Amino acid sequence: MGASMQIPDSVSALYRHAGPFASVYLDATRANEAGNTEVELRWRGLRHRLAEAGADEKSLQAIDEVAGAHVDVAGRHGQFVVAAGGEVLLDEPTRRPPSREIGRWSPLPHVLPYLVERSTQVPHLVVLIDRTGADVYTVLDDIHTDQTSVEGGVEYPLRKTGRDVWNERAYQHRVDNAWETNSKEVAQAISHQLPPQVRVILLAGDVRARTLVSEELAKVLPQRVLVRQLEHGARAEGASRAALDAGVRSALLHHVWAERRDVLARLQQAVGRHDYAVTGIPAVLDALRKAQVDTLVLSDDPSSTATCSIGPDPLLLAATDAELRHLGATDIRHDRLDAALVRALAGSSAGLVITPGAHQYVEQGIAALLRYTDASTPA
């Protein structure tokens, strides 16, 4: 399921630590020469908030060492840090500053805002093509971009004359063959070097060349990879990137929404058939406890205050303490519902789809597509 994300290994690894955890969402933007000082002041405010909530000094000192340290990231961006037991467990830049800076001390790490950010990232290639080859930009995390160049093997003139007299037809036929040969070589190079997480390839540049490359890619790529052509962008040195960047953003946003619509349509069909799907918090928690969940669909609701009773095991969670005690839990803690859900997904290798407005589709903004059903699965 294209829109479904697996919980990243970096997040799953957090649950090997006992906690509690300090979770920090920091605006790490340096807008001017005073940027370092501004980042430091923002962190100091969050540090004070964490200390008041009970965070230990060693964990706070560990975050001191990394707060604002991603100086290689330019422009507006954020930073997500998780620490526990005096150690930084996760430290990653984010492509946008947080909409609300957060410093949270809690039994489980507060990772949903980070996953929301990742849910709109589409690993992709941007390929700028001309008649001799292509420049390939690999974007896996929207922060770092790798560039490679692919040159076709045919070097003689690749431009048609625009005339159609008999003694030039052979020349123009050779030009067509050269374009096709180079396009095949570019497509083969892309397919051989394609990272497995890439879901979209965006082709820009010479119209004829990108059409030929698109046709060749359709023959060699797995069906999971979508190829789209963009109207703007050129390989020539000095070509403007503004229109290309806008086209890339629009194409990726369209792709994200199309995937989400597909998941919601499948979910509605399953719910309508009363088949391999449940909705609402109680039913979803029950399915998680039994590792029935294949994909959790969750509404992105930053204002949510829903909480959950949790035990030491990732799949030991319930809406109330009484229910958890009935399941045999003795060490009961409480945390945000979304934090408990993510831990359960990581503990059962289930996928997650985060979408705004899911309350319009499912009860309480939460539903799950199931791996299996049993006699206790609600209809």
CATH number at 135 reads 3.30.420.60
User: Is 378 part of any domain?
Assistant: no
375 three-class SS: coil
11 three-class SS: helix
The better pLDDT of the pair 171, 55 is held by 55
Q: How confident is the model at residue 161 (pLDDT cuts 50, 70, 90)?
A: very low
The better pLDDT of the pair 207, 64 is held by 64
Between the alpha carbon of residue 297 and those of residues 1, 173, 292, the distances in Å are: 12, 54, 14
What is the predicted pLDDT for the residue at 2? 52
What is the predicted pLDDT for the residue at 263? 84
The better pLDDT of the pair 285, 223 is held by 285
What is the predicted pLDDT for the residue at 71? 85
Q: How confident is the model at residue 366 (pLDDT cuts 50, 70, 90)?
A: very high
- List the one residue out of 248, 242, 243 whose CA is nearest residue 229: 248
User: Is 264 part of any domain?
Assistant: no
- List the one residue out of 172, 156, 257, 251 whose CA is nearest residue 204: 251
CATH number at residue 365: 3.30.1330
What is the predicted pLDDT for the residue at 269? 85
Report the alpha-carbon distance of residue 91 to residue 79 in Å, rounded. 7
Report the alpha-carbon distance of residue 379 to residue 106 in Å, rounded. 35
- Out of 228-242, 268-282, 341-355, least confident range: 228-242
128 contacts 235 by C-beta, under 8 angstroms: yes
Of 71, 94, 119, the residue at which a domain comes to its end is 119
> Each residue of 16-39: pLDDT tens digit?
999 899 999 999 998 777 778 899
110 with 134, same domain: the answer is no
- Output the DSSP codes for 60-119: HHHHHHHTT--TT--SS-EEEEEEETTEEEEEEEESS--SS-EEEEESS---HHHHHHHH
CATH number at residue 61: 3.30.960
Domain that holds residue 205: 124-258
User: Is 57 part of any domain?
Assistant: yes
31 with 105, same domain: the answer is yes
Report the alpha-carbon distance of residue 127 to residue 145 in Å, rounded. 12
217 with 113, same domain: the answer is no
> Each residue of 280-291: pLDDT tens digit?
999 999 999 999
Query: Does the pLDDT value for residue 171 go beyond 60?
Result: no
User: Is 268 part of any domain?
Assistant: no
What is the predicted pLDDT for the residue at 178? 58
Report the alpha-carbon distance of residue 14 to residue 84 in Å, rounded. 9
- Output the DSSP codes for 214-254: HHHHHHHS-TTSEEEE-SS---STT---HHHHHHHHHHHHH
Q: What is the average pLDDT across 337-366?
A: 88
Report the alpha-carbon distance of residue 204 to residue 124 in Å, rounded. 13
User: Is 47 part of any domain?
Assistant: yes
User: Is 1 part of any domain?
Assistant: no
214 with 281, same domain: the answer is no
- Percent share of the chain, pLDDT over 70: 89
Beta-carbon contacts of residue 166 (< 8 Å; ≥ 6 apart): none
30 with 98, same domain: the answer is yes
Highest mean pLDDT among 183-192, 253-262, 316-325, 349-358: 316-325
Count other Cβ atoms within 10 Å, centred on residue 112.
Answer: 23
What's this model's pTM, rounded to 2 decimal places?
Answer: 0.82
Of 119, 147, 165, the residue at which a domain comes to its end is 119
Report the alpha-carbon distance of residue 280 to residue 359 in Å, rounded. 10
Alpha helices, DSSP H only, in the chain?
A: 9-12, 35-53, 57-66, 112-119, 166-193, 207-220, 242-273, 281-289, 321-326, 337-348
83 with 153, same domain: the answer is no
224 with 278, same domain: the answer is no
238 with 132, same domain: the answer is yes
User: Is 197 part of any domain?
Assistant: yes
What is the predicted pLDDT for the residue at 5? 87
What is the predicted pLDDT for the residue at 154? 47
- List the one residue out of 36, 228, 236, 222 whose CA is nearest residue 130: 236
Q: What is the average pLDDT across 201-210?
A: 90
The better pLDDT of the pair 350, 131 is held by 350
Q: What is the mean pLDDT of the chain?
A: 86
Query: Does the pLDDT value for residue 158 go beyond 60?
Result: no
Token match 């829903």: residue? 306
Between the alpha carbon of residue 118 and those of residues 5, 94, 284, 291, 353, the distances in Å are: 9, 9, 23, 24, 11
Alpha carbon 207 to its chain centroid, in Å, reads: 30
Total domains, the chain: 3
Q: What is the average pLDDT across 137-141?
A: 86
113 with 130, same domain: the answer is no
Report the alpha-carbon distance of residue 376 to residue 379 in Å, rounded. 9
Structure tokens at 336: 């945000």
112 with 129, same domain: the answer is no
57 three-class SS: helix
Query: Does the pLDDT value for residue 133 go beyond 90?
Result: no
The better pLDDT of the pair 223, 98 is held by 98
What is the predicted pLDDT for the residue at 147? 86
Q: What is the average pLDDT across 175-184?
A: 66
- Percent share of the chain, pLDDT over 90: 50
Of 96, 119, 142, the residue at which a domain comes to its end is 119
Q: How confident is the model at residue 274 (pLDDT cuts 50, 70, 90)?
A: confident
What is the predicted pLDDT for the residue at 355? 84
280 with 248, same domain: the answer is no
- List the one residue out of 231, 234, 136, 220 whose CA is nearest residue 184: 220
Q: What is the average pLDDT across 167-188?
A: 63
What is the predicted pLDDT for the residue at 325? 93
User: Is 376 part of any domain?
Assistant: no
137 with 180, same domain: the answer is yes
What is the predicted pLDDT for the residue at 159? 44
- Out of 8-12, 123-127, 154-158, least confident range: 154-158
Query: Does the pLDDT value for residue 94 go beyond 80?
Result: yes
